[in-house]
Structure 1
Amino acid sequence: MNKLTYSLKQGESLNRWLILEMLETKKQFDKSTQEGNINDWLLKGHAIHEFPGKKQFLKERSSQEPLVTDSSNIFPGAVQKIKDVPKQWLIYMPFDNSVVEKEGFWNVPTHLESRAYTEIYCEVEGDYHFSLATCGGLKIWLNNHPEVHFEPFARNQLTYTSIHLPLKKGNNKIEVYFDDLAERDTKFSFRLDYLGKDELEIQLPIGNYSANEIIHLEQLLDGAYFPVDTFKRGNVVLQFDRIVEINFSSRATMQVERCVKQIVQCDVKQGSTEVVLGNIHDFQIGYTAIEMEIMVGDICITKHFGIEIYPEVYLKLQTDHIEDRKRMALDFTSIHGEPNMHKLLSILYCSEDIGSYELDPQMFHDILEDEMKKINERNDCSDFSLIMFFRLLHDYHKSDIVTAKTIDRIKQMILHFRYWMDEPGNDVMWFFSENHALMFHTCEILAGQMYPDEHFTNAGISGREHYQRGEARLNAWFERFFDEGLSEWNSAPYIPINVIGLTILYDLTDSNILKVHAKRALDQIFKWLAINSYHGYLTCSQGRVYEKELKGNYNTQTTSLAWIAWGEGALNYSTFGSVALSLSDYIPPAKYSKFLSVSNGNALSYLHKQGPDDFANLSTYKTSAYMLSSALQFKPGEKGYQEHVLQASIGPEANVWVNHPGEKSVQSSGRPSYWAGNGYLPKVAQYKSIAFAIFNIEEEHDVDFTHAYTPLFAFDHSLIADDWIFLQKGDGYIGLFAQNGIQLVEDGINKKREVISSGRNNVWIVRMGSSEEFGSFDAFQQMMIEAQMKVSNSQKILWKDPHIGTCSFSWHDDLKVNDTQMTVQNRTIEGDINFYK
């Protein structure tokens, strides 16, 4: 048996294992109700709401035996039957991840189980000190003897404990059983860090395979990168940082959100330096998650990447009239959209109303059945689909393809649904965010309106009673919205959900009051969208965001909404929001188009707030050449979630933002993740075209640096000088300074798209400008470098700007500009819009 060996030193993670394929078991629990206020999880912490079925799960689990494996037959490719299900042992390569984890999204409660195996060689017998962490439950066997039993079960939060393993001299077998209850987004994980002083050796059994070949494959994926983040033409190519030394197979599993997976298999030959996955027109458009596997025999090494695919030919799609844009959007989503109820309605409209699309009955049936199955099972986010069935029944109840039998099945589905948390259920549907609340309440009132005299089985009430409940809940939702706005402010993934709920309510409600409320709310949302977008791309600070929105602006749902509303932005595959708006009688106010872009010689400044009290005080400043946006002094020094608090933009690709990575692994998708959100939030100030960010990061956090997204390939010119990086796109300039200096990443997944600044305490400055303001790009650089600046060890900033004047800011003091204090409190959700020359 050959072995793959790695050293294990003090402070390092034992993160190379053989992992048994995960066993997934859907769970059913007793029905129960829940309590909680909307958005409390954003204000008090995202883990405050516990799934009621978890207590029952833990009680039933305590009497179960963990998975039993045969430790004498473990190597890559070995198959063992677990509960009569054949499962394969796989090699786990962590790359930059200290945690052994499998991430995913489970729409129903699911028990996850797995085993991990490795061997440790030590020269001296003794008790060796480790730190152990897991989110679920974990057991460790050392040399076939049970040694550790640890079961914190804190959802998506690693809980730590200190352990000692009595290692014998020579080889030691380590077996781990770990399990968890998946509910929605789940990080199925554990972590084992070595705290001892004597160096140890990890030994992974690899059968007859060559250790050198496996190490080479690992190095290839570790250094692999895509040359750009957005592919608009030509081939999609993954590049290696070294020459391939052996022949191997590769498999790329590519998926855009809920679209059909596409699998590309290639044979990679010795001497190659890249893998060509195919032409952009071969793939679904959208931000694409890629699971890249490279294989020799049963050795398979996996790494995750993400890219945007958007053929530039679609940027030419234009028409002057909104009704034409609505029709074009429905045509486009009929072909390119995600396979869901929203796409189904666009297909019906295009095939039956305007005859531009030939309906495929099998596709119609498949999508309908899949959506109804999800709703009947009460999958999380099923409210996003259910709401469109009311549109289907309203518009197409006389259609030949929507048969009487289908209508009756839809009716039964509506009558059996769970419409709020106070109804009994054993599902993991999420009720606690403002976008879900709007969807559930709208579904409830429309269900009651459609079937007032029917009995709804889950709540045990009539449709008329459901109507009354939904009406009261919607009135409370609108009261909060008109007073507070959205706590998930300017959120590219969640604004479209609100647009779905509000447009469907506007079109289908019998209540004139609710119709007026819905229009008023839609007008406000589209006003925010126009002001905070740069030429139709929502590249501003956001209350909740994911990497796919930050790096995939051509395909972001709000980009399509802006295109439909005003013809700026881009038409894309997204169905959420765009289909509901395109089918709706609602027309976004045309007058808001003046906010999308600013003419030469002018600037727009917008200061407003969103959320309860002074939750998020927001600033956006834009000119014809750039836009700068921030959340001012938002929870400075607190642990972050998905809040995106500072961004500079010169277009859909030429964007820069600064954050503290929420996790060490670039390829993981935590909340917060490496690029989206913050591990610890900075204190941010902004005045027009300059912003400051002060970071103070606690020692407990893994990541001891801050960084900025700086995709050099998206800019025309770039320069690193002193502690600055300068970027230019067209007439727009960005200057980015870090007190602790900056280092451009030159290899791996973030090659030439990241600058890192070491240290837990740091000060960043973002200064934007243009050729109109500064003349040449060289002149801008020179002025920034020569500007008088003092940044003290106590993080007090004194900056004398050549145009703005003297700025001072610190962790304990508000921003002052030319001795005038810039207050951030007492703003309104409507905000103050000012135009400058």
Structure 2
Amino acid sequence: MRNRMRSKKRFKVKYILIILFLFAGISVVVDLVRISNYEIIPMRPVEKIDLQQDQVYYDLVNGVDSIDWNRLDGTLEYISNEYDCSDFRLVNLVRILYEYGDQIPKEYKTKIEDVLFGFRYWWDEPGENSMCYWSENHQVLFASAEYLIGKKYPHVVFKNSGLTGKQHMEKARKCALDWLEMRWKYGFTEFYSGVYYKEDIAALINLIDFAGDKELAQKSKIIMDLLFYDVAAQNINTMFVSASGRAYKGNRTGEGGSTLGGLTSYYWGDGKECGAGMLYGMMTTLKYKLPPVLAEIAKDSSNVIIQQSNGLDISELKTEGYYGTDNRSMMMQWGMECFTNPEIVRNTLAHIRNCNMFSNAFIGDFKMLDFSLLKWLRLEPVVTRVINPQPNGVAIQKGNTYTYKTKDYSLYTAQAYHPGTYGDQQHIFGMNINNHFSIFHNHPALEKDRNFQSPNYWVGYGHIPHSVQDKNVNLSIYNIPEKKGLMEMDLLDYTRAYFPTGEFDTAYIDQTFVFGKKGETYCAFIGANVFNFRDNTKNDIIQKGKQTFWITEAGSKTEDGSFGEFVERIKKNTVDFNPVTLELNYRSNNTRYHLKFGADFIVNGKIIDTAYSRYNSPYAQARKKDKTITFNHGGKSLFLDFYKQIREFE
């Protein structure tokens, strides 16, 4: 009897397993068919479109007699097709409508309005495209444009969304205020970005000039001030290059002067106005004035240490209230570019489904995880944790930045920023040789001749070093894995540095040393292995090896005497590195430095705390989420109270 019962139970279990297996198989097949039908929408036009909205606005401001309005045809075509960065094109189109709308011929104005009424202003609206809505700068650009276009046409029903202009205003106002509050509480996720701060400025100045909403305009001014403090504190003699959440090649090398589109020169340099471009509203605005203390901070040539905390870590999202799939939470998560990370991936997939974005070229690959079984069993985090895809490195987490500035140079580091992880566009360490150019080192994610936006040879990292700094000395240890990750594009067995010898007065390699002199500024690299120039280059220095270090020491005539004396002193310094335990010891100028990969940074026997307050500098002291912030320097000050909307300066 018992044996018969056991047999029946085994039969039932076997039967249930067969049914479950068949169900799973059918589910996977159905999902495969569905996923195979997803189509990706192009993010860029096949042929280049002539975009002249910036030049048209410039001509209008400067009184050009006759405007050919057909010059805006390319801009309208670009926006109507909702190609990526359409929000960039809306900046000066909005300014044209507000300042010169009465000069636009009626027929052409109708053409502009038809495009604007059919546009998809946010990810939750009907339609599909491949625009990036989510990064920090895009969020405020879309909110700014939607609010101001809605304000311009409050009673019109927009044909794409079915909302009136007034409803668009209300929706965009909430997004804009959420965005502004996040910056007040935590700073910029895309911290010190010479590229994307320009987009933030363009969006904010439009809100300041045209919103007509006291709270929105005043809070935009306050956040603009915080942005310009970042620029002023990190710049050296008008060159704005520093550690950054998002940086491209030119932002790391200091190419083109790196003057934030000319704004650093305009505000505290030679005063020359910017030309036609997204930032030209800063030349025409009557409603925003740069607080004088910020220009004084930018011009400060004394030796200063600037410590700052920017953004959040993924581990902080839950306690800070940004862990759900509501609009505000997704703005924070996707503003940090957290997509595939195990803690966030389920939110990502839910948001893509809710907003119909599997057709978006940026995130279309998430269709690979759009299987019902994964969703039902909540296995997506397990999959991304096991695979550890390289896109995990896209996430921009908290940057605890340390900058040491003198009249001759600045040295900067994102302290102990997630050592060993992938890095998409982060810039962890570098040195500005006065305002001439910058030097830096990295572990390239791809070989030099491989074309990929990021990460690549010049942008981001294959694997981020453990990098720390104290005053004029930086220690960086690289620990490159022996085996390539499952989805890693490449795994190079060397690190390299940008060191443009042709730009120096004197520069050379001496075995495991590199020295450079420009004017009265000196610099040195020290490595674990012999340095060599990459073939056919004089600006690209290679250090072979997977477990290596780079020590950087900055100096000057004022601090070190002659360049020869600097070189002699550096060569006599004690260096000890254990490639097994990954421990590095360095002694210079009677100071002892110790760093172990993934562990503490110790200076003269004391553990250094590299987790900073919001602001810790001679100019400002504040914690995250403080109600007020005061900046002081040179007898001038700026007082800010975000929630009471107070902005006072002298």
Q: TM-score range by the shorter chain?
A: 0.7 to 0.9
1:582 pairs with one of 283, 288, 293: 283
Identify unmatched segments of 5+ residues in structure 1: 1-53, 62-107, 111-182, 187-257, 261-338, 353-357
1:688 pairs with one of 452, 458, 471: 471
Q: Does 1:802 align with 2:506?
A: no
After superposition, what is the alpha-carbon deviation per residue over 1:516-546, rounded to whole angstroms, capped at 9, x for unaligned? 1110011111110011111111121111111
Aligned to 2:80: 376
Shift of 1:797: 1.5
Aligned to 1:761: 547
Shift of 1:407: 1.9
Q: Secondary structure at the match of 2:194?
A: coil
Q: Does 1:616 align with 2:399?
A: yes
Question: 1:808·1:817 contact (CA, 8 Å) conserved in 2?
Answer: yes
Aligned to 1:717: 506
Question: 2:186·2:310 contact (CA, 8 Å) conserved in 1?
Answer: yes
1:815 pairs with one of 595, 601, 610: 601
Q: Hey, what's the Cα distance between the residues in 2 that align with 1:776 and 1:442?
A: 53
Instruction: Identify the structure with the greater strand proportion.
Output: 1
Shift of 1:757: 0.3
Question: 1:619·1:630 contact (CA, 8 Å) conserved in 2?
Answer: yes
Q: Does 1:537 align with 2:242?
A: no
Aligned to 2:187: 485
Query: CA distance change for structure 1 residues 185 and 377 in 2, over 3 Å: closer, same or farther?
Result: closer
Q: Secondary structure at the match of 1:780?
A: helix
Query: CA distance change for structure 1 residues 597 and 692 in 2, over 3 Å: closer, same or farther?
Result: farther
Aligned to 1:41: none
Q: Hey, what's the Cα distance between the residues in 2 that align with 1:476 and 1:541?
A: 26
Shift of 1:406: 1.9
Question: Which aligned pairs between 1:544-559 and structure 2 lie closer than 5 A?
Answer: 544-551=246-253, 553-554=255-256, 556=258, 558-559=260-261
Q: Which has the higher contact order (CA 8 A, sep 6+)?
A: 2
Q: Hey, what's the Cα distance between the residues in 1 that align with 2:446 and 2:464?
A: 13
2:70 pairs with one of 340, 351, 365: 365
Q: Hey, what's the Cα distance between the residues in 1 that align with 2:606 and 2:261?
A: 37
Q: Does 1:779 align with 2:480?
A: no
Kindly provide the amino acid, as one letter, of the partner of residue 394 in structure 1: Y
Aligned to 1:444: 146
Q: Hey, what's the Cα distance between the residues in 1 that align with 2:449 and 2:422?
A: 19
Question: 2:413·2:467 contact (CA, 8 Å) conserved in 1?
Answer: yes
1:347 pairs with one of 59, 64, 69: 59
1:833 pairs with one of 602, 618, 634: 618
Q: Hey, what's the Cα distance between the residues in 1 that align with 2:421 and 2:572?
A: 34
Kindly provide the amino acid, as one letter, of the partner of residue 112 in structure 2: I
Question: 1:541·1:646 contact (CA, 8 Å) conserved in 2?
Answer: yes
Q: Hey, what's the Cα distance between the residues in 2 that align with 1:480 and 1:57?
A: 36
Question: Which aligned pairs between 1:214-363 and structure 2 lie closer than 5 A?
Answer: 339-350=51-62, 352=63, 358=64, 361-362=67-68
Question: 1:556·1:574 contact (CA, 8 Å) conserved in 2?
Answer: no
Kindly provide the amino acid, as one letter, of the partner of residue 587 in structure 2: K
Question: Which aligned pairs between 1:393-408 and structure 2 lie closer than 5 A?
Answer: 393-399=97-103, 402-408=104-110
Question: Which aligned pairs between 1:730-749 and structure 2 lie closer than 5 A?
Answer: 730-747=519-536
Kindly provide the amino acid, as one letter, of the partner of residue 390 in structure 1: V
RMSD over aligned Cα atoms:
2.6
1:631 pairs with one of 414, 427, 431: 414
Shift of 1:831: 3.5
Q: Secondary structure at the match of 1:454?
A: coil
Query: CA distance change for structure 1 residues 417 and 60 in 2, over 3 Å: closer, same or farther?
Result: closer
Q: Hey, what's the Cα distance between the residues in 1 that align with 2:100 and 2:187?
A: 34
After superposition, what is the alpha-carbon deviation per residue over 1:352-376, rounded to whole angstroms, capped at 9, x for unaligned? 2xxxxx56645x522x111111111
Shift of 1:571: 6.7
After superposition, what is the alpha-carbon deviation per residue over 1:548-600, rounded to whole angstroms, capped at 9, x for unaligned? 333463264615111122225987767232x121122212222222333443x
Kindly provide the amino acid, as one letter, of the partner of residue 797 in structure 1: L
Q: Does 1:498 align with 2:208?
A: no
Shift of 1:809: 1.0
After superposition, what is the alpha-carbon deviation per residue over 1:758-798, rounded to whole angstroms, capped at 9, x for unaligned? 01111111100100010000100110110122112222111
Q: Hey, what's the Cα distance between the residues in 1 that align with 2:49 and 2:504?
A: 31
Kindly provide the amino acid, as one letter, of the partner of residue 306 in structure 2: Y
Q: Normalising to structure 2: TM-score of the pair? A: 0.73
Question: 2:252·2:427 contact (CA, 8 Å) conserved in 1?
Answer: no
Aligned to 2:629: none
Q: Hey, what's the Cα distance between the residues in 2 that align with 1:572 and 1:627?
A: 25
Question: 1:545·1:676 contact (CA, 8 Å) conserved in 2?
Answer: yes
Question: 2:592·2:604 contact (CA, 8 Å) conserved in 1?
Answer: yes
Kindly provide the amino acid, as one letter, of the partner of residue 87 in structure 2: D
Q: Hey, what's the Cα distance between the residues in 2 that align with 1:809 and 1:60?
A: 49
Shift of 1:644: 0.7
1:562 pairs with one of 255, 264, 270: 264
Q: Does 1:409 align with 2:103?
A: no
Aligned to 2:41: 109
Query: CA distance change for structure 1 residues 646 and 833 in 2, over 3 Å: closer, same or farther?
Result: same
After superposition, what is the alpha-carbon deviation per residue over 1:215-261, rounded to whole angstroms, capped at 9, x for unaligned? xxxxxxxxxxxxxxxxxxxxxxxxxxxxxxxxxxxxxxxxxxx898x
Q: Secondary structure at the match of 1:109?
A: coil
Query: CA distance change for structure 1 residues 676 and 424 in 2, over 3 Å: closer, same or farther?
Result: same
Kindly provide the amino acid, as one letter, of the partner of residue 403 in structure 1: P
Aligned to 1:386: 90
Shift of 1:55: 8.7
Query: CA distance change for structure 1 residues 762 and 834 in 2, over 3 Å: closer, same or farther?
Result: farther
After superposition, what is the alpha-carbon deviation per residue over 1:423-448, rounded to whole angstroms, capped at 9, x for unaligned? 01221011111100101111111122
Q: Secondary structure at the match of 2:568?
A: helix
After superposition, what is the alpha-carbon deviation per residue over 1:55-105, rounded to whole angstroms, capped at 9, x for unaligned? 9783278xxxxxxxxxxxxxxxxxxxxxxxxxxxxxxxxxxxxxxxxxxxx
Q: Does 1:604 align with 2:308?
A: no
Query: CA distance change for structure 1 residues 568 and 759 in 2, over 3 Å: closer, same or farther?
Result: farther
Question: Which aligned pairs between 1:78-157 and structure 2 lie closer than 5 A?
Answer: 109-110=41-42
Q: Does 1:662 align with 2:445?
A: yes
Question: 1:662·1:670 contact (CA, 8 Å) conserved in 2?
Answer: no
Q: Secondary structure at the match of 2:169?
A: helix
Q: Hey, what's the Cα distance between the residues in 2 that align with 1:785 and 1:360?
A: 66
After superposition, what is the alpha-carbon deviation per residue over 1:736-760, rounded to whole angstroms, capped at 9, x for unaligned? 111122112351xxx1001100011
Identity of aligned residues (%): 24
Q: Secondary structure at the match of 2:223?
A: helix
Instruction: Identify the structure with the greater helix proportion.
Output: 2
Q: Hey, what's the Cα distance between the residues in 2 that align with 1:546 and 1:809?
A: 28
Kindly provide the amino acid, as one letter, of the partner of residue 529 in structure 1: V
Q: Hey, what's the Cα distance between the residues in 1 that align with 2:123 and 2:585?
A: 51
Aligned to 1:824: 610
Q: Secondary structure at the match of 1:592?
A: helix
Question: Which aligned pairs between 1:8-23 and structure 2 lie closer than 5 A?
Answer: none
Question: 2:257·2:436 contact (CA, 8 Å) conserved in 1?
Answer: no
Aligned to 2:133: 431
Q: Hey, what's the Cα distance between the residues in 2 that align with 1:627 and 1:347?
A: 39
Q: Hey, what's the Cα distance between the residues in 1 that align with 2:263 and 2:33?
A: 43
Kindly provide the amino acid, as one letter, of the partner of residue 522 in structure 2: Y
Query: CA distance change for structure 1 residues 608 and 712 in 2, over 3 Å: closer, same or farther?
Result: same
2:37 pairs with one of 59, 66, 75: 59
Question: 2:586·2:592 contact (CA, 8 Å) conserved in 1?
Answer: yes
2:429 pairs with one of 642, 646, 653: 646
